[in-house]
Amino acid sequence: MTQLTEKQIKTRWADIKKLIKSRPLLAYRVNIPMKSWDKYMHSIPEAAEVNRIYIAIQEDRKQKTSRLKEELSKMVGYRESKEFSRKSGVSDTSIRNIIEGKKDKAGYDIINRLELFVSRLNPDFEMSLENPLDIKTHTQDQFGEFSSKVNNIADSLKQYCYRLTEIARKLEKEKDWMGNQEEPSAHLEYSIKRLTELKNDIDSYWSVYIERQIK
């Protein structure tokens, strides 16, 4: 391994601590002694120890990615990667790269999401013990995002109500950003499209994560 400078060791350790804070049980996975926990979190270990932990984390990511590759290969075809991407919250490129072996060391954010996703569809697949995601919190977060999108559409429709009265008052159509006239119902059609997409996303999430089936 290339010898790192003191600054690089500090940066590497700062990155490791961020990972452990977001994934606390990772400390046990990479064999950080419990008696040394406080010391490790408030100081910088020797360079050799930092590198040992770093290598252990890389290996852990490889093992988890390999495990996901095996499961995803059974579930996802090339054509389905976009659909699975939408349902899992992981880009279709990342999913395809994992399946094809081009990505053999996914980040923990991707690992967390895919482990939860696969575990909802395959009862025999167990999530990693140190994965911080759980179905209740994940669902609350996701439905919070859905609610926010509904509010945004509602606000947009309220503005549209005002614009409709202005169209009636002026007796002329509005223009789009290119200067072309658009139908008075154009914004309504756009909102209906957004609501339809949102409805599909909500139904899809519920089907996969709660009813545990792909529709």
Farthest CA pair distance, the chain = 77
Question: pTM for this structure?
Answer: 0.84
According to the model, what pLDDT value does residue 167 have?
A: 87
Residue 95 contacts by C-beta under 8 Å, 6 or more apart in sequence? Answer: 72, 76, 81, 84, 85, 88, 114
Number of domains within the chain: 2
C-beta separation of 207 from 214 below 8 A: yes
| Residue 18 located in a structural domain | yes
Domain of 72 in residue numbering reads as 6-121
215 confidence band (pLDDT: 50, 70, 90): low
According to the model, what pLDDT value does residue 74 have?
A: 87
- CA 122, 128, 129, 131 dihedral sign is negative
Could you say which DSSP state residue 185 is in? T
| Residue 129 located in a structural domain | no
Q: Which of 72, 92, 121 is the last residue of a domain?
A: 121
- CA 140, 141, 143, 149 dihedral sign is positive
Q: To the nearest whole number, what is the mean pLDDT of the chain?
A: 90
| 23 and 81 fall within a common domain | yes
C-beta separation of 111 from 65 below 8 A: yes
| Residue 206 located in a structural domain | yes
pLDDT at 31 over 60: yes
| Residue 215 located in a structural domain | no
Q: Which of 88, 121, 154 is the last residue of a domain?
A: 121
pLDDT at 1 over 70: no
Residue 188 contacts by C-beta under 8 Å, 6 or more apart in sequence? Answer: 157, 160
Q: Which of 57, 86, 121 is the last residue of a domain?
A: 121
Q: Which two tokens stand for residue 97?
A: 């790269």
147 confidence band (pLDDT: 50, 70, 90): very high
Could you tell me which of 66, 93, 69 has the C-alpha nearest to residue 81?
A: 93
According to the model, what pLDDT value does residue 163 have?
A: 87
